[in-house]
Amino acid sequence: MVLNFAHRGSLTEAPENTLPAFQKAIDHGAKAIELDVQLTKDQQLIVCHDHKLTRFNKHSTKRIKDMTLAEIKEIDVSGSFQEYEGTTLGTLSEVLEICPNDLLINIEIKNIPVIYEGIEEILIQCLSDHNRFHDVIISSFDHMALKNVQDIVPSMPIGMLFYYRILQPWKYAKQSGLVVTSIHPNQVYTDRELVEQCKSFGYKIFPYTVNDEEHYEKLVEYGVDGVFSNNPGVFGGI
Ligand code: G3P
Ligand code: CA
């Protein structure tokens, strides 16, 4: 089965990375979702992609790491989705509350270029509070963060993200000392060799972000295990 992740929820239908976007994806029957986590000034896990909220409110110029949760909850992130006016970002805890038990959740630690000291412990504590060690993958471009996660919970499924082309990422993953479950390459450079080599090393492969259906079909033909997609038609809906 090809497993497709609703990237930041169903972001074409509701503000990205918000509860309505995840609810839409769930309503469409998505088997998996992807979300980004960061840490506020008061050490709360907030679900958000950007390091600042300027894209949603031009007056909001502080970094998330310098904002409290209360300050973040004052920012309307509905953007062009008028029907969602007043929507604010959710905490990871709030998102986990609405996720069914069998929904696979890819939690990306957004650690670059900001380093959120201690985010790994706080994330693990949150998963523990929600009894959610099943059906979770922790991914990051920051592979030190992945190591920190696996040092705390050795059995935690780890997704290794790559933005740039690197030589033989399957060997890098093997030599990293981490127990990597899946490799998440940029779709731009995902070719047949990359897919076949990752799989021969025992890794699942989930390229991001694949929105075009023709390209999606090609990647499936190469043998990918799934993709991250903004296109509800790919991740299960419409
Ligand atoms: O996890 C896949 C993808 O979300 C990584 O890129 O920038 O959309 O978080 P980005
Ligand atoms: Ca992401």
d(CA 186, CA 165): 8
d(CA 230, CA 139): 18
59 catalytic, yes or no? no
Structural domains in the chain? 5-235 (3.20.20.190)
CA distance readout (Å), 13 to 7, 81, 121, 222: 12, 8, 33, 30
Neighbours of 174 (CB within 10 A): 14
Tell me: pLDDT of 238 over 70: no
Ligand 1 atom nearest to 106, measured from its CA? 1
Ligand 1 atom nearest to 159, measured from its CA? 1
* Ligand 1 surroundings by CB, under 6 angstroms: 7, 34, 36, 49, 108, 139, 161, 184, 208-209, 228
52 DSSP assignment: B
Evaluate whether 123 touches 156 at the Cβ level (below 8 Å).
Answer: no
49 catalytic, yes or no? yes
Please tell me whether the interface predicted TM-score (ipTM) of this complex is above 0.90. yes
Tell me: pLDDT of 237 over 70: no
Determine the average pLDDT of the residues in 26-50: 97
How many whole angstroms from 230 Cα to the centroid of ligand 2? 11
CA distance readout (Å), 11 to 5, 17, 80, 85, 92: 12, 7, 11, 15, 17
Determine if the pTM surpasses 0.80: yes
Q: Whose CA is nearest to atom 5 of ligand 1?
A: 208
